Chain A
């Protein structure tokens, strides 16, 4: 940690230009600038409108099933013998991950703006499923852009989206993964900007997306804070969450940023190992640059070309990260670390067998790190891990890696 940071600082970002320190901003083609300005205005109005907040809260309670439980993983904590580990059970949300908190919020914005067509990009398919779900519920046309490589890895989620009535559009350019899906979604948005609302699935993209996605996801941390106080009488000593774009992590972290005694760990995808270059860990091993509408840490080569990433989990396979994370790294408020593919797979099995909770492979990165962290702490301390999603979607991937035919 660096010197003490005033809690007010965390409430002051982004500034009116969408900046988190030097990061964030609106680096997009001119055609989208007015759409972003419209969205910003609508969001500024609605975010302080009690009726909108009530509608959002009601949907979260009755459709998503919030609040999600905070669960003490006793058997795992006993086995480790260090800090007690609590899981924030976002996997129990409708559609099985934290993603839906944000899609509910953005779909309400789309409804208020009178947009009849929504588009989304997806990596693991969780955000695509969550978008297709809210589109079905509101009767909106939904198009989901997904890398051809990810379509192979996540066949179950692709079929779920189709069942929900969404069109899944394979993206065959570039590395055929999440970043290319986002390029294609931006191209679609430029073309159909008048009637289309782009539901970005993470805290990246141009302003105001990193801000509004953070705000919608912060329900995770607000609940966790109350639940921690109720269950343990104190705030947690540490928070752990996986970071791809970083929406589940910012959702958990944000309401605690001003609590200087709460340590925070964002776990990136180490892939085959950060030292091999085959990973998806821009905060651990990247440099600042501009991609997808914001300035942030990126995996890029010496000429500024975006590099292909590798992670066993499609949802973390992204060369950038939300700009607020870049800022939190630079000011030293959050520690960013990495867990590699093997560690995540080990944790996937370990937690499934020990707690009867099968985590998403993305989440397994956070769990892998939490085990190490807990071991270096004491039983009077406690850690909250964001259990951001369930692992059903990944069982075919795990089986394939282990040479098992399902």
Chain B
């Protein structure tokens, strides 16, 4: 069992919601990533989502695309991302880490080698945007051998009968994509989210977290009232990149993003 299941059980028992930040590994620099993960935990993150940079991030909006580009300018590879997780694990053995990315770097490494490297580094779960259940079989076999959760996206366009196909392949948690579109886009519709969460919960007891379109404490609180957790990505990266573009130091950029995460934590805890 990965760290995800006990983490969500503990949250559920204490009536709390998971706050899940997403950052791109190696953005803006390789050196900031692991310290930033620790800071995010200190600010109230329960699960960490670490993006694996890819040359063609097809589901990302402009903010996260630029994060991928900055990380690739720093030559960050999938194996380096796993090294960062291993480094994070030296000081933190409890916070679940999920890596999120695209299929090709994983294909290139090879499924068996990838699964083994994830296990060795202390990864708990994987989200691969372009590996739907139809394509995931051979990778899932390898992940199950090392007890790493495979987390799937369900979207507003997922037909109800398909939800059970997805939940049958999933473990850890379900990631509900609250808006049609790329990351960081649009405004989420709470009643639509609520309806879909009901459909998903009819099929699975896995925790359901919601992402895409969560920008601040207010939108996080609205979703947190319905979901088991919220994922915040673009808003953090935009805050960090904005501070750097305004001439701020690396510390300044990281601190502002961590502060935003902290405000989301406070908002959700006080709802």
* CA A30 to CA B54, docked complex, whole Å: 18
Q: How many chain-A residues does the 8 Å CB contact rule pick out?
A: 39
Determine if A290 and B103 form an interchain contact, defined as CB atoms under 8 angstroms apart.
yes
B63 at interface (Cβ–Cβ under 8 A)? Answer: no
State whether A290 and B107 are in contact (beta carbons under 8 Å apart), knowing that A35-B157, A190-B59, A190-B182 are contacts in the complex: yes
Task: Label chain A's interface by main secondary structure.
Answer: mixed
Contact of B134 among A17, A173, A298, A305 (CB under 8 A): A17
Contact of B56 among A31, A174, A295, A303 (CB under 8 A): A174
State whether A289 and B58 are in contact (beta carbons under 8 Å apart), knowing that A31-B180, A33-B132, A190-B182 are contacts in the complex: no
Proximity bits, A183-204, B CB within 8 Å = 1, else 0: 1001100111110000000000
A26 at interface (Cβ–Cβ under 8 A)? Answer: yes
CB-CB under 8 A from B177, the residues of chain A are 30-31
A263 at interface (Cβ–Cβ under 8 A)? Answer: no
* CA A16 to CA B37, docked complex, whole Å: 43
Mark out the residues of chain A between 290 and 331 whose CB falls within 8 Å of any chain B CB in the assembled complex. 290-293, 295, 298, 300, 302-306
A12 at interface (Cβ–Cβ under 8 A)? Answer: no
A225 at interface (Cβ–Cβ under 8 A)? Answer: no
Determine if A298 and B158 form an interchain contact, defined as CB atoms under 8 angstroms apart.
no
Determine if B108 and A289 form an interchain contact, defined as CB atoms under 8 angstroms apart.
yes
CB-CB under 8 A from A187, the residues of chain B are 58-61, 181-182
CB-CB under 8 A from A232, the residues of chain B are none
* CA A284 to CA B154, docked complex, whole Å: 38
Determine if B55 and A174 form an interchain contact, defined as CB atoms under 8 angstroms apart.
yes
B152 at interface (Cβ–Cβ under 8 A)? Answer: yes
CB-CB under 8 A from A179, the residues of chain B are 56
State whether A26 and B157 are in contact (beta carbons under 8 Å apart), knowing that A190-B59, A304-B107, A305-B54 are contacts in the complex: no
CB-CB under 8 A from B103, the residues of chain A are 27, 290
Determine if A191 and B158 form an interchain contact, defined as CB atoms under 8 angstroms apart.
no
Interface centre among A25, A180, A288, A291 (most CB of B within 10 A): A291
Determine if A29 and B129 form an interchain contact, defined as CB atoms under 8 angstroms apart.
yes
Determine if B59 and A29 form an interchain contact, defined as CB atoms under 8 angstroms apart.
yes
* CA A292 to CA B59, docked complex, whole Å: 11
Determine if B153 and A306 form an interchain contact, defined as CB atoms under 8 angstroms apart.
no
Contact of A190 among B77, B158, B180 (CB under 8 A): B180
* CA A227 to CA B186, docked complex, whole Å: 54
B109 at interface (Cβ–Cβ under 8 A)? Answer: yes
CB-CB under 8 A from B117, the residues of chain A are none
Contact of A290 among B61, B104, B162, B186 (CB under 8 A): B104
Contact of A28 among B105, B130, B162, B186 (CB under 8 A): B130
In the complex, what's the smallest C-beta–C-beta distance from B118 to chain A, in angstroms?
15
State whether A173 and B65 are in contact (beta carbons under 8 Å apart), knowing that A28-B132, A34-B157, A35-B157 are contacts in the complex: yes
B131 at interface (Cβ–Cβ under 8 A)? Answer: yes
Contact of A30 among B57, B58, B132, B182 (CB under 8 A): B132
B106 at interface (Cβ–Cβ under 8 A)? Answer: yes
B185 at interface (Cβ–Cβ under 8 A)? Answer: yes
State whether A31 and B155 are in contact (beta carbons under 8 Å apart), knowing that A191-B180, A289-B107 are contacts in the complex: yes
* CA A245 to CA B129, docked complex, whole Å: 23
* CA A17 to CA B56, docked complex, whole Å: 24
CB-CB under 8 A from A305, the residues of chain B are 54-55, 72, 77, 104-105
B159 at interface (Cβ–Cβ under 8 A)? Answer: yes
CB-CB under 8 A from A29, the residues of chain B are 58-59, 129-130, 132, 153, 155
CB-CB under 8 A from B59, the residues of chain A are 29, 31, 187, 190
CB-CB under 8 A from B158, the residues of chain A are 30, 33-34
* CA A227 to CA B148, docked complex, whole Å: 58
* CA A288 to CA B78, docked complex, whole Å: 18
Determine if B162 and A186 form an interchain contact, defined as CB atoms under 8 angstroms apart.
no
B135 at interface (Cβ–Cβ under 8 A)? Answer: yes
Determine if A30 and B108 form an interchain contact, defined as CB atoms under 8 angstroms apart.
no
State whether A303 and B159 are in contact (beta carbons under 8 Å apart), knowing that A30-B132, A190-B180 are contacts in the complex: no
Q: Which residue of A lies closest to B165 (CB)?
A: A33
CB-CB under 8 A from A33, the residues of chain B are 132, 134, 157-158, 162
Determine if B108 and A304 form an interchain contact, defined as CB atoms under 8 angstroms apart.
yes
CB-CB under 8 A from A295, the residues of chain B are 107
Q: Which residue of A lies closest to B181 (CB)?
A: A191
Proximity bits, B32-43, A CB within 8 Å = 1, else 0: 000000000000
Q: Which residue of A lies closest to B212 (CB)?
A: A31
Q: Which residue of B lies closest to A298 (CB)?
A: B104
CB-CB under 8 A from A302, the residues of chain B are 108
Contact of B185 among A28, A32, A191 (CB under 8 A): A191
30 cross-chain CB contacts under 8 A: A26-B132, A26-B134, A29-B153, A30-B152, A30-B158, A31-B155, A31-B157, A31-B180, A33-B158, A33-B162, A173-B69, A174-B56, A174-B69, A187-B181, A190-B182, A191-B182, A191-B186, A287-B108, A289-B104, A290-B103, A290-B130, A295-B107, A298-B104, A303-B78, A304-B104, A304-B109, A305-B54, A305-B55, A305-B72, A306-B104
> 11 extra interchain contacts, Cβ-Cβ under 8 A, other than A25-B135, A31-B155?
A28-B58, A33-B157, A174-B56, A183-B56, A183-B57, A190-B59, A193-B180, A289-B104, A290-B103, A292-B56, A293-B130
Q: Which 7 A-B pairs have the closest CB atoms?
A: A304-B108, A304-B105, A303-B77, A191-B181, A31-B155, A290-B103, A30-B153
